[in-house]
Amino acid sequence: PIYLDHHATTPLDPRVQDAMLPFFNALFGNAGSAEHRYGWRAQEAVEDARARVAALVGARSAEIVFTSGATEANNIALMGSGDHAKRHLITTGIEHASVAACAAERERRGGPITILPVDRDGRIDPAQVATAIRPDTGLISIALANHEIGAIQPLDDIGNLARRHGILFHVDATQAAGHIPVSLPALQADFLSLSAHKLHGPTGVGALVVTRQARRHLRPILFGGDQERGFRPGTLPVPLIVGFGAAAEIAREAMPEESLHLAALRGRLLDRLAVLPGLRVHGGMRFRLPGNLNVGWPGLVARDLIDLLRDHVALSSGSACGSATLHPSPVLRAIGLTAEEALGGLRFGLGRFTTEAEVERAATAILRAAPLLRR
């Protein structure tokens, strides 16, 4: 099937695979072994990758803490920060589960939270962040780009605002990094979450960027070793980290051209789908990840279409499935869709290797199937 689900994960870039392979074999050393060449070579590769990941987001190498992915990075940022005096958390209603569930857990442990609404485009109002700040606010956590509707948040003023109030600022940049410019200095964030498998790197590795100023406000959530300044103990997965570094460097170089290519393909997909009357676009088009589209037709249940087209197109519905029941996406509900409308959300994620011909074929298949399923 044609793969149009790049927000879930992206295929490994062959150049990334090439960079990784020697570290599964000849260069198998432990980056923590300081007494022999095997260790030195692994450590050198890790530090090289660290610099490449840092460069993607305008950070310093020393600020990168490698993790198993963005879920873990988000957990460290949300569960490891904030003392007892300043524990109020400000976040949004459209965060990824790994932030939303941490927020819920903080609340369960007695920390108040404020969940900011978003508008129909899926964007927060920065003025509402300012209004939500209380004397006990310790952390603001907002994703730069949304994983379902691709909405890019206006975060420019929030880092500055947080700093003035002595509040830590965490940005989940998992869907943004490698696809749109991400600058830690511009964001003035304290923590930034990243994941390699969203930018054609390997699954199972990510990073939490921890700025030098924020370091003393963070406590580890895992214990057992002094790797990664103690913030993430455990033997480093050298091949994965090397892959992350290679993927970050490729993404940084490819981004200007790739984002234009993706936006053009996305425009073409939208034009083709709009041929079938009643098409609704979920979220705004102006501030949106270039490879993202989320649409629906009245009376069409996304899961029905996805099931029908399973041999032809791989895409995603905005809904999370329990064993038997479908749950409408909280993101689509938050931008004002009814539960029924939210169950109709079709999420498209185009990627580096998506071709025009694939978009054409996918659109044709969808246009053929959708009318058969509308109720």
* Structure-block tokens of residue 15: 């150049």
Bridge partners (DSSP) of residue 143 are 172
Q: How far is the CB of 204 from ligand PMP (least distance, A)?
A: 8
User: Is residue 10 close enough to count as binding ligand PMP by CB under 6 A?
Assistant: no
Considering only the C-alpha atoms of the chain, give the largest distance between any 2 of them, rounded to a whole number of Å. Answer: 68
Active site residue: 62, 97, 260, 321, which one? 321
Residue among 98 and 114 whose Cβ is closer to ligand PMP: 98
Sign of CA dihedral 358, 360, 361, 364: positive
User: Is residue 195 close enough to count as binding ligand PMP by CB under 6 A?
Assistant: yes
**Count of Cβ atoms closer than 10 Å to residue 90 Cβ:** 27
Please say whether the beta carbons of 227 and 68 come within 8 A.
no
User: Is residue 41 close enough to count as binding ligand PMP by CB under 6 A?
Assistant: no
User: Is residue 208 close enough to count as binding ligand PMP by CB under 6 A?
Assistant: no
**Binder to ligand PMP among 206, 239, 290, 291 (CB under 6 A)?**
206
Q: How far is the CB of 69 from ligand PMP (least distance, A)?
A: 3
Q: Which range touches ligand PMP (CB under 6 A), out of 40-48, 66-74, 160-168, 294-302?
A: 66-74
Q: Which range touches ligand PMP (CB under 6 A), out of 70-78, 127-135, 156-164, 239-247?
A: 70-78
**Binder to ligand PMP among 2, 50, 59, 69 (CB under 6 A)?**
69
* Window 102 to 161, contacts with ligand PMP (CB under 6 A): 143, 147
Bridge partners (DSSP) of residue 280 are 296
HEC-encoded secondary structure of 25-66: CCCCCCCCCCCCHHHHHHHHHHHHHHHHHHHHCCCCHHHEEE
* Structure-block tokens of residue 184: 């830690």
User: Is residue 172 close enough to count as binding ligand PMP by CB under 6 A?
Assistant: yes
Interface pattern 215-244 for ligand PMP (x via CB under 6 A): ------------------------------
Could you give the CA distance from residue 77 to residue 210 in angstroms, rounded to a whole number? Answer: 9
Amino acid at 354: T
Q: Which range touches ligand PMP (CB under 6 A), out of 65-73, 131-139, 230-238, 301-309?
A: 65-73
Total binding residues for ligand PMP by CB under 6 A?
Answer: 13
* Structure-block tokens of residue 231: 């913030």
Q: Which class for 49: exposed (0-12), middle (13-18), buried (19 or more C-beta within 10 A)?
A: buried
Please say if 102 is a catalytic residue. no
* Window 86 to 105, contacts with ligand PMP (CB under 6 A): 96, 98
Could you give the CA distance from residue 72 to residue 122 in angstroms, rounded to a whole number? Answer: 25
User: Is residue 262 close enough to count as binding ligand PMP by CB under 6 A?
Assistant: no
Nearest to 141 by CA among 91, 83, 106: 91
* Structure-block tokens of residue 138: 């310790």
Could you give the CA distance from residue 198 to residue 5 in angstroms, rounded to a whole number? Answer: 11
Q: How far is the CB of 286 from ligand PMP (least distance, A)?
A: 20
- Residue 281, H or E segment: strand 280-281
Residue nearest to ligand PMP (CB): 69
Applying CB under 6 A, the residues found at the interface with ligand PMP are: 69-71, 74, 96, 98, 143, 147, 172, 174-175, 195, 206
Active-site residue list? 321
